[in-house]
Amino acid sequence: MKKIILTGSNGMLGKALKKKLSNSFELKSFSKNELDITDFAAVEKILAEMKPDFVVNAAAFTKVDAAETERVLAEKVNADAVGNLAQICKKIGTKLIHFSTDYVFNGKSETGFSEDAEPNPINFYGETKLAGEQKIKKSGCDFAIIRTSWLFGEGENFVRTMLRLARDQTEIKVVSDQVGSPTFTKDLAEAVEKILIENQNGIFHLTNSGKTSWADFARKIFEIAKLPTKVIDIPTAEFPTPAKRPQNSVLLNSKLSKLRRWEEGLEEYLFKKGK
């Protein structure tokens, strides 16, 4: 059985990967408390000792707005630590599986962004994630970089936020001029397992199929959850945030099998939560 080290195993995607990858791999997973990826010496020690076939890095600084002010930490986690992981992987002959984001793109597209579209982030989080990608490529290690978007799963996410707000609001204002593809972490984890088994290399775009706006995403959540909450469309200008968001962040997947539609993933997710 091939060996995997999973970092960031207590995050939303980390949890889904931990469940999925333990079926077909010898998996050793590390939460942030168990392995801080910015502790270069600790990372090097563990990787050198275990010499895994794959490092799957689900650790990241993911607070998009906080990244605007917590710049040093965001860069350290999303860029420097990723570069360090990549260099060690190169040294010991391990392949690095890493996750990146739709936010490496500027959102100015009618159709969406293909794997080879030119990144041009419009917020600092996106800049740090792009820097992480570049450091991996520069290291010369074997890698798969998987860009994904609008995740929901076990952890804090948009679906949970909407359900929480619906508890004491009958109407919720939601931004309707940003479009993307919501993605269920369970579906993404299944696709990652396939990439590992097939030993695929390169940059991949993996999201659930279909696209929507945040407002229509919220409507679908309330429809499936059978809640009467009304969604009122608002433009981004009416919901200012510290970090700018791309308007169209749809990732086009031209390399791998398509995942099922996001609505199907959402239905399973909400059903499992018993909502």
In this structure, the strands spanning 202-205 and 143-148 are parallel
In the annotation, is 125 catalytic? yes
Contact predicate 259/183, CB 8 Å: yes
Backbone angles phi, psi at 98, to 5 degrees: -135, 155
What's the DSSP call for residue 252? P
Q: Is 10 in the site for ligand NAP (CB under 6 A)?
A: yes
Amino acid at 46: I
Q: Is 151 in the site for ligand NAP (CB under 6 A)?
A: yes
What residues numbered 50-109 form the site for ligand NAP, per CB under 6 A? 58-62, 77, 99, 101-102
Amino acid at 242: P
Residue nearest to ligand NAP (CB): 11
Q: Rounded to the nearest whole angstrom, what is the least distance from the CB of residue 87 to ligand NAP in the complex?
A: 17
Q: Is 134 in the site for ligand NAP (CB under 6 A)?
A: no
What's the DSSP call for residue 65? T
Residue 19 has a CB neighbour count (10 Å cut-off) of: 14
Q: Rounded to the nearest whole angstrom, what is the least distance from the CB of residue 56 to ligand NAP in the complex?
A: 11
What's the DSSP call for residue 80? I
Q: Is 143 in the site for ligand NAP (CB under 6 A)?
A: no
In this structure, the strands spanning 179-180 and 212-213 are antiparallel
The secondary structure of the chain in percent helix, strand, coil, rounded to multiples of 5, reads: 40, 20, 40
Q: Is 12 in the site for ligand NAP (CB under 6 A)?
A: yes
Contact predicate 44/88, CB 8 Å: yes
| Catalytic member of 54, 99, 113, 125 | 125
Q: Is 123 in the site for ligand NAP (CB under 6 A)?
A: no
Q: Is 121 in the site for ligand NAP (CB under 6 A)?
A: no
Nearer to ligand NAP, 50 or 230 (CB): 50
Q: Is 269 in the site for ligand NAP (CB under 6 A)?
A: no
Q: Is 166 in the site for ligand NAP (CB under 6 A)?
A: no
Q: Which residues bind ligand NAP (CB under 6 A)?
A: 7-8, 10-14, 32, 36-38, 58-62, 77, 99, 101-102, 129, 148-151, 155
Catalytic residues: 125
